[in-house]
A and B are shown apart, each in its own frame.
Chain A
Amino acid sequence: MSTLIELTAFRHQPVWEMQAALYLLMIQAGAWAMLSGLAAQATGAERQRGLGAWGLLAATGLGLSAPLNLIAEMLGPHKFYTLIPRFNLSSPLSWGVAAISLFVLAGALGCVGLRRPLPVPRKAVAGLGLLAALSVLAYTWFEIARAAGVPLWADPYASAVLLASALPCGLGLALWLDMAHGGAAAQSLMARLVAALGALGAGGTLAVWGLLGSWPGTPGWPWGSALLAGSALALLLAGALFLDRPKSLSGSLLWACLLALAGGLGARLGILLLGQSAALGRAQGEPHMLGHADILGVLATPALFVALMFIASIIMGRPAKKEPAAPEVSAASAAPPAQPEAPADAQTAHGDPA
């Protein structure tokens, strides 16, 4: 037993929270990115076309990267193999594995569909993606909300904050990636409004509910409480920035995304930390917790996601063997994609010069 760990367990959060928080943020943001992409595709609007593509790409990247946090969190990662074949109807974990597998499959199919024709109807792939994304959101909701031993998590507000805060992260990432590749979806007030509402809703809920439950004397005070307050503030700021029409890649959208990501991660860390602190569950302070606490270990899965997005960008920048069929668009939505504010070297979602 490490004396240091026990004495500091409530002052420096164990890494279990960090990797679990990262996992929850990435997989839920991925689900929202998928839903954003599918919604953008469904509109058929040319301006949303890039969002449709980058939503799928970001979702797939996050879907591939996020579960690696869970594997790393396990004391014996080699035991991960044993989890998969053992499906347990009553286990959220089993449903989670199924949902994520479906999610990655749907995302991968969708991504392939961006570059070449698929042997299955696009609507079927979209339907699969929709089901997978909703399954992921539902599974993560239940995983937290059904943690009866940790009352803070079992509270529906906790799950609501988690889900809502992931919306601006997933949608914001897709919007920013689209914008980085010359897309104009971020110019759409509707898309930014959805992201802003998610951020403001999550930030507001967190500020009211989270802080009400963490005052002096509660186990998480003061660091967990400060974390929640900071996260709420970040989300509220992100919400405000989403409302601002982006003018450059390093402008308001980027800051909105970063603040949303920071707020989302902080909210998860705070909720997990306070929940565990209050419930003293999950063997808080166990020695193995410290074994994963290096910065590189924490950065690994976000780095993988970044790498995947670079690779996607390279691939998407190359000409497709055969262009996929153009989405059906209505005359009203077939507005010119280019915006006056778009950078001169911006590219379309397909990587082609604007």
Chain B
Amino acid sequence: MSIDRRTVLKGLGAGAALTVFASGYKPTLKAIIDPPKQTVASGPSLAPEATVDKATGEVTFNRQQYLAGSICLGCTSICGVRVRVDNESGSVLRVSGNPYHPLAAQPPAPYEASLADTVRALSGHQGSGLARRATACGRGNAVLDKLKDPYRVLTPLKRVGPRGSGKWEPISLERLVEEISTGGDLFGEGQVEGLAALLDGKPIDPASPELGTRANQLACIFGYANGRMQFFQRFAAGAFGTINIANHQGNCGLTMRAGYAAMLGDFQEYPHLKPDYANCTFYLSVGSAPANAGNPFMYQAAHAARARAEGGPRLVVVDPVLTNSDNACCGAKTEWVPVRPGTDGALVMGMIRRILETRGYQAGHLACAGPLAAKNAGEAAWTNAAHLVVADPAAKDFGQFLRARELSPEAAENALLARDVATGDLVAHDQAQGPCSIFFSGSVTTPARTVAVKTALQLLLEEAQSKTLAEYSKACGVPQADIVRLADEFASNGRTAVADCHGGTMHAGGFYTAYAVALLNALAGNLNRKGGTGIGGGKFKDFGPGPRYNLADFPKKAKPGGVRLSRQGFPYEKTSEFKRLVESGAKPYPARAPWYPFSNSVQSEYLPSALSAYPYPLKAMLFWASNPVYGQAGLMNTSAEQLKDPKRIPLMVCVDAFMTETAALCDYVLPDVALYEGFGCATPWAGPLSKVSSVAWPCVDSPVARTPEGDPVCMESFLIALAKRLGLPGFGPEAVADAQGGKHPLERPEDWYHRAVANMAFDAKPVADATQEDMEASGVSKLAESLARVLTPEEAAKAASVYCRGGRFEPVEKGWQGELLAARWEKPVQIWNENVARAINSMTGKRLKGTAAWIEPAFCEGTPVRAVYPEEKWPFLVVSTKSQLMSAGAVGSKRLHAIRPESEVAVCEADAARLGLRTGDKVRLETPDGSVEARLTVRLGVMEGVVAVEHGYGHWALGAKEMSFGAKTLPASPLRGAGAASNLLGLKDPFRKGFSTLGDIAVGANARNALPARIVKL
């Protein structure tokens, strides 16, 4: 066979090409031929943190890793997590649940168990394994990405361009503190008053002394109780002395809080109820998604999962959007009741009417008008259902309870009157021994007068009967038969029927909706009862006066006073402004903006009020771990330019680990520790019924700049430096007193947190000392030097034990005492709340209703939103929904983006067909004051006429926008801006002067739901 030259060349060509192929394809071929021995989705798995001999149970820890107990900050549930850290690199390897923590494990490990015991319990030894597992949710697993977020703020920054330009220069902490303290022409835009000048003790306005001193012109805004807020509050209220300190509630779940506060009669502490998930038999969840979000998320999600799978409590979710809480496979165990946004109050008031008319309430419970009667009847709580309320509109005390002193001067000051059933006589509630009349409408004669009265429950009945069931049904879109069925089922479950609500009630009629939901529990008489509702088990002592240290009080502690910028907790009628108007003969109503006499934590009013300079202008705002610019519906889309105007708010400082939308609009930004990098002592929401105190410690190094002492530049180190510069009390040497009167410094973050943990460790029966093995296995040995510096050896050993376990936890079974809950609410349940009834709408001069009611979402002076923005023009109503994965702060987590890259904007099939839309269509969602572009999802499970927008996406900061730090530029990542931001759809209130966002008529909570909208196909 002859081979010609051409063939040889072809052969060489083929050989060369095959060589290129082999070289390029070698890795793939290698992987095909010799696959990795041990693989998971993302590559070879980690070496285990410990090995357990299945036969003997002997535990051998992997000394290359440690298992730190910490707090998850992926959302606001603050679950306990176990952070697995590589000893060598110091990086987080995995995050799982803390086995000791009731939110992460059901049942949790005994507190006495060693770390080795908890590892053994998770193994196959004696078949425990999965049954004892401790979990973090999907977000909790993935949010560790944020530690290495390229857009983190790592050093103090000062803006070098116009506010919001994204141009920053790094500066030292010392310079930053000096500049904001002294002020001056800081940005070449004119003089800025420094914080020091606000401490001169002068009134804001001598003509309106009730406004307080100029210290109030600093507003301090923070996020939530993440375990560090007490430090922030110590600075803001205790040291600086401003009354303007607010958390995020006004933009999150204030309506729910206020509804429970009205029921429980405490608008200061804002207690709230949660079901006894483990023992209730019927769980009505209104405007919340127990398997998607809510607090405490994992705890209630686990119980909701049990309800779905095994049939625990029958779970009924009332919401415009079907969530994970129900699906067809669950059958009758769960139910989704679609409801028109903003009208859940109509459904609940319909249920209340039905329950009252069919006597489905716990009459014996409601008839207990005082503690003695309750004790005699074996009740766990008492109510004011039988208390008499003045019903004569002409009476001065119309809407107030009839005082017992009016009948008898010897009666206690706060004693109220009721009618004893047995005798028919009036009786002071604290003297009532037996049941009192719960329905009464008539008149009462006292030495002073004869006055028309009604019992509180009678007033609730009349309010419920102000509309027919058909009218309620028409308003909410739930068939009348379903309202009746739900009411009957609720009543038939007796004391183990519970109702709860949350963010779905954040609409312009939300307070009364939440109050109505809360009162369903009152009618069921389930408060403080096993299977009912409770206020939660609480926590061990930490930041207050504790067994070892008093972290609450200190010499020269300020006593903030005056009117809050948000106009909360202060009646308009007591202001100088009102008095001047009255004296001048002018009409005092409407006020320039609503006042909220009984509300609290109305963060949603701070920025609009600051921009409007009403009731007074602000000089400075300090934000910490809070992002109202993104989180407040209607703010950015209506006031973006004004927020950038330094003339309106001259100085804005933000402390945050990330360049949030709020930070991006500030003049100075300071870094903060993130996730597992810092200290913290937190308590979960009311779900757990036994005491739970979680702690976090810096189990991984923070990449942020350091102070000269070696601490990260963070909220604590910044405020210590600022307080020392301003000469404020409560910080520096001798700032903290111990139980024996000794003085200790507060110079570093650990000075604060170690002492709080020492209090926790010594509360009641002190915990055992930490063992060396636990300290090594948990990494707490790294804290030994710091503990020894701050605490006594005795305290250090016990505090270390708490750190090793990620907190201190009471045994779960201590949450119950027989048929009652161990932690009980002792004040009366308020069927009628006279604080609410006493309040006057500052826009109309009319009184608010004193009991639960169906109030259509309305503007501040009562005009229904739909009257201004009719359905013909705005055929949809927008609601925000929550993902169980992404949260507003979790943006940037690669894992979460990989799973869910953008938000769902969903409509139902009928609406889509009507508009000719299909899944994937690009649309513009428009409300009267905002619009967003989005990709549409058409699916079942959305009520007709509703657009569901998943919250947490569509950022315009947090990396979505280019930023420069000195010479370094970080380009924008569209990944961060993907999806639609539901809050850009929010409304302003056209009936108010100045800047505003739509809020609840009674408590001012930001309205992010039930917003009129239309869809435009692009």
Q: List residues of A whose CB falls within 8 A of some B CB.
A: 1, 3, 6-11, 68, 71-72, 75-78, 80, 148-149, 151, 154, 219, 277, 279-281, 283-288, 292, 294-301, 303-304, 306-308, 310-311, 313-314, 317
Contact = CB atoms under 8 A, between A and B. Distances in A.
B894 A1 contact: yes
Interface in B935-959: 935
Interface stretch (B121-129, B532-540, B718-726, B967-975): B967-975
Contacts of A11: 971
A11 B902 CA distance: 20
Contacts of A285: 894, 975
Given A7-B970, A151-B935, A300 B24 contact: yes
Contact of A78 (B20, B32, B42, B145): B32
A76 B39 contact: yes
B919 interface: yes
B32 A80 contact: yes
A77 B148 contact: no
**Closest 7 pairs (CB-CB, A-B):** A300-B24, A78-B35, A310-B14, A296-B24, A307-B17, A303-B20, A283-B898
A75 B44 CA distance: 12
Contacts of B10: 310-311, 313-314, 317
B17 A306 contact: yes
Contacts of B41: 75
26 contacts: A1-B148, A6-B894, A6-B975, A10-B974, A71-B28, A72-B27, A76-B31, A77-B31, A78-B31, A78-B32, A279-B902, A280-B902, A280-B975, A283-B898, A285-B894, A285-B975, A297-B27, A300-B22, A300-B23, A301-B25, A303-B20, A304-B25, A306-B17, A307-B13, A307-B15, A313-B10
A300 B19 CA distance: 9
A6 B150 contact: yes
B18 interface: yes
A80 B973 CA distance: 33
Given A151-B922, A304-B18, A304-B21, A280 B978 contact: yes
B740 interface: no
Contacts of B35: 76, 78
B897 A7 contact: no
A226 to B, nearest CB: 17
Given A280-B975, A306-B17, 12 more contacts: A10-B973, A10-B974, A75-B41, A77-B31, A77-B32, A219-B974, A286-B894, A300-B24, A304-B17, A306-B13, A307-B15, A314-B14
B331 interface: no
Contacts of B902: 279-280
A-side binding surface: helix, strand, loop or mixed?
A: helix
Interface string B29-59: 0011001100101100000000000000000
Nearest to A296: B24
Interface in B881-939: 894, 897-898, 901-902, 919-922, 935
Assign chain B's interface to a size class: 35 or more
B891 to A, nearest CB: 12
Contacts of B971: 7-8, 11
Contact of B974 (A72, A154, A280): A280
Contacts of B27: 72, 292, 297
B28 A77 contact: yes
A151 B920 CA distance: 6
Contacts, number: 127
Contacts of A149: 920
B649 to A, nearest CB: 30
A71 B32 contact: yes
A72 to B, nearest CB: 4
A298 B27 CA distance: 12
Contacts of B973: 6-7, 9-10
B25 A300 contact: yes
B11 interface: yes
A148 B28 contact: no
Max chain B Cβ within 10 angstroms of own Cβ: one of A6, A288, A299, A317:
A6
Contacts of B897: 280, 283
Given A76-B35, A154-B920, A300-B21, A279 B28 contact: no
Given A3-B148, A314-B10, A307 B18 contact: yes
A58 B32 CA distance: 26
Given A7-B150, A7-B971, A151-B935, A1 B145 contact: yes
Contacts of B970: 7
Nearest to B148: A1
A310 B17 contact: yes
A209 to B, nearest CB: 15
A300 B922 contact: no
Contacts of B873: none
Nearest to A68: B25
B974 A303 contact: no
Nearest to A76: B39
A279 B901 contact: yes
B7 interface: yes
Contacts of B17: 303-304, 306-307, 310
A313 B921 CA distance: 50
Given A3-B150, A149-B920, A307-B14, A296 B975 contact: no
A348 to B, nearest CB: 14
B18 A303 contact: yes
Contact of A297 (B25, B42, B922): B25
B175 interface: no
A310 B6 contact: no
Contacts of A72: 25, 27-28
